[in-house]
Amino acid sequence: MTELKIGVIGIPGKWSTEALADAVEAKTGFRRVIDMGAVALDLDQGRLMHAGEDLCTYDALIIKKISEIYSPEVLDRLELLRLAEAKGVKVFSRPEAIIRLIDRLACTVSLRMADIPMPRTVVTEDKAAALAAVNDFGSAVFKPLYSTKARGMTLIDAGDSAAIDAFSAEHQVMYIQEKLDLSGQDLGMVFLNGEYLCTYARVSGSDTWNTTIHAGGKYAPFEPDAALIELARRAQAPFGLSFTTVDVALTDQGPIVFEVSAFGGFRGVRDGCGLDAAALVTDHVIAEITQ
C-alpha cells in the first residue's frame, strides 16, 4: 500500500468507474469516486471541492467518465479540472486532450489532418447540401456531434428529405458519413500511454446497421496485423491520451477509422482481450506520479 490520494472521476455505480476505483484502492488503500456534477470550483480560494475535500490536494485524478451523456456542458466540466492540473495535480488523461475528442467534429478534423482514412464525410447546416450528400453516398449515417455508443445516430437513404428535416430539427449542424459495409463487426484497438495493448471486435448481435454493445453487439477476440496496429497508433498519436480505444472497421475499400475514444472501453478489454484495464491504468498512473 502507498499513501497516494488518487481520485476516480466517473459515474457512481457504473461498472467501469467502480472497477477503476477498486483497482486504485487495492494499490493505494484510498478510494474516492468523484461525480463532476457534485464538484464546486471556487476561483477566489483556488479550490475544487467535492464532498468536503479539495481535489487540488490530490496526487492524481483519473478521468474514467466525465458525464453519462455527451453535451457541450461536458466541456465545462473538463475546464474545472484544469484548475487542479494548474495546482500540480496529475490528471489522466489531460483535460485539454479529452476536450478535443468530446466534439465528434473536432476529432474528425484532427484525424483527417493526420491523413487517417475515414468514411466520406460531409458536415453542414444546409438541408439541400445534406440531401445532395446522401444522394451521392446512396445511404448515410447522420451523427450528433455529441454522443456515445451510437446514440442518436440515424441511417438515412437517398432521397429521404423528410428524415433529413427531422434530424435537422434536433441538430443544427449535421454530421453526415457514408454508410459502409462493415461485414457485421468493427474493432476496438486499445492503447495505454500511446503503446499498443490489444484489439477486440464488436460483433453485431442482430440485423442492425451498427455493432455497438448498446445495440446488442458482442465482444470477441481479434488479432490485427502490424499494418493495422500502425494505422491505429497513428490515429491516436495526435491526442496524447493516457488510455484510449481507436474504432476501426475493415471494409472492401481497406481499413478506415471512425473515431478515437476519449476514455476507452474497459469491458471490451476484459471480454475481448482477457485483460484487466483498470489495473493496468492504475499501475501506469502510479508509475507516472512516483517516478
Q: Which residue, chain included where needed, has cell 445534406?
A: 130
Domain 6-101+280-290 CATH (choose: 3.40.50.20, 3.40.50.150, 3.40.50.10860, 3.40.50.720): 3.40.50.20
Strands (E), the chain: 6-9, 33-34, 39-42, 47-50, 53-54, 60-63, 90-92, 121-124, 139-143, 154-157, 174-178, 185-192, 195-203, 218-221, 243-251, 254-260
The CATH class given to the 181-274 domain equals alpha beta
Rounded distance between C-alpha atoms, residue 74 and residue 41, angstroms: 15
Task: Give the CATH architecture of domain 121-178.
Answer: 2-Layer Sandwich (3.30)
Position 25, amino acid: E
The pLDDT tens digits of the residues spanning 43-69 come to 999 999 999 999 999 999 999 999 988
Residues of the chain with CATH 3.40.50.20: 6-101+280-290
**Residues carrying CATH 3.30.1490.20, the chain:** 121-178
Q: What is the C-alpha separation between 33 and 16, in angstroms, rounded?
A: 11
Q: How far apart are CA 119 and CA 54, in angstroms?
A: 44
Pair 202, 267: CB distance under 8 Å: no
Cell triple for 117: 482514412
Does the structure show a pLDDT above 80 at 210? no
Structure confidence by residue, pLDDT tens digits, 241-279: 999 999 999 998 899 999 999 999 899 999 999 999 999
Which 3 state secondary structure label does DSSP give 49? strand
Give the SS3 label for residue 223. coil
Q: Has residue 207 got a pLDDT over 90?
A: no
pTM over 0.85: yes
The bridge status of strand 60-63 relative to strand 6-9 is parallel
Q: What is the mean pLDDT of residues 162-190?
A: 94
All CATH 3.30.470.20 domain ranges of the chain, comma separated, are: 181-274
- State whether residue 129 is helix, strand or coil: helix
